[in-house]
């Protein structure tokens, strides 16, 4: 399975990515700002989602809002 970011670049486990859009986090009042660097992503079974940690909180992000750093 190939996982690609918003620009079509191939992603793999451990890559660093950058958010390309401000994202509201469901269930909280937190907003992830555009330009935030996310280090060490993990691929999931779904090609459209990746696991990551932001500020010690485990999250799942859609690849359409990421670009490879």
Report the SS3 class of residue 65. Answer: helix
Delineate the domains of the chain, giving CATH numbers in brackets: 3-68 (2.30.30.40)
Question: CA 48 → CA 2, 28, 29, 34, 62, distances in Å?
Answer: 10, 23, 24, 19, 6
Q: Retrieve residue 30's tokens.
A: 């937190």
State the Cα–Cα distance between residues 58 and 10, nearest whole angstrom. 22
Q: Which residues of the chain have pLDDT under 50?
A: none
Whole-number pLDDT of residue 31: 94
Whole-number pLDDT of residue 1: 86
State the Cα–Cα distance between residues 31 and 10, nearest whole angstrom. 26
Whole-number pLDDT of residue 8: 95
Whole-number pLDDT of residue 37: 96
pTM for the full model? Answer: 0.89
Whole-number pLDDT of residue 35: 96
């Amino acid at each position: 399975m190939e996982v690609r970011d918003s620009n079509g670049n191939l992603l793999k486990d451990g890559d660093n990515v950058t958010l390309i859009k401000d994202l509201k986090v469901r269930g909280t009042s937190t907003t992830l700002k555009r330009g935030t660097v996310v280090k060490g992503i993990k691929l999931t079974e779904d090609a459209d989602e990746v696991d990551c940690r932001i500020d010690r909180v485990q999250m799942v992000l859609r690849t359409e809002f990421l670009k490879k750093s």
